[in-house]
Amino acid sequence: MAASSGQNYYELLQVPQTASFADIKASYHRLLLSHHPDKSDPSKHNSTQTDVDIGSLKEAFTTLSTAESRMRYDFELSSLPCLSSRPSQSRPAHVVSLEDFEDLGQVWVYGCRCGEHYAINEADMENDVHLVACSGCSEVIWIGYEAQFPDYEATPGEA
């Protein structure tokens, strides 16, 4: 998942690891325009400036643009210290009980300190997903819940 140049995706997109989706998107578009051969102005191109691979930019943006893939990338990044020149800024996940979430029908939500929210649905819980990223920042929490099997009925002789 790391950029082929050895540079991490946050460095490639020139944003901090705590950047919001809007900041990531803005930086991606700015870099695309400044490095795309059809869009950039050759007279302003600095020959000492390193060229950026458009494919790497797209891969970085795609990875960091969804909460789930960003969470996986952040975990991978923190697990591989050779990809980051500085110590990981991520904190251990908080544990939040599903009982603390607001039930909105088919999705449960919990507010984040950034003002956005964490969300989990039944399909996630059926797939035993516990780590969930905030929709607005890179904060990740562990959602505590136990699998329920409402359709399970003990057959005679089981106890």
Q: How far apart are CA 65 and CA 40, in angstroms?
A: 24
Tell me which CATH homologous superfamily contains domain 94-144: DPH Zinc finger (3.10.660.10)
Q: How far apart are CA 147 and CA 46, in angstroms?
A: 58
pLDDT averaged over the chain?
76
CATH class of 9-83: mainly alpha
Domains in the chain: boundaries: 9-83, 94-144
What integer pLDDT is reported at residue 15 of this predicted model? 93
pLDDT digit string, tens, across residues 26-75 = 999 999 888 877 766 656 555 434 567 788 889 999 999 888 888 888 87
pLDDT (average), residues 145-155: 58
DSSP for 5-46? TS--HHHHTT--TT--HHHHHHHHHHHHHHH-TTTS-GGG--
Q: Assign residue 14 a region (left: φ > 0; alpha: ψ between -120 and 50; beta: otherwise).
A: left
pLDDT (average), residues 111-115: 87
Q: Looking up tokens 């051969």, which residue turns up?
A: 37
CA nearest 34: which of 16, 19, 14?
Answer: 14
- Statement: residue 80 has pLDDT above 70: no
- Statement: residue 120 has pLDDT above 70: yes
What integer pLDDT is reported at residue 23 of this predicted model? 93
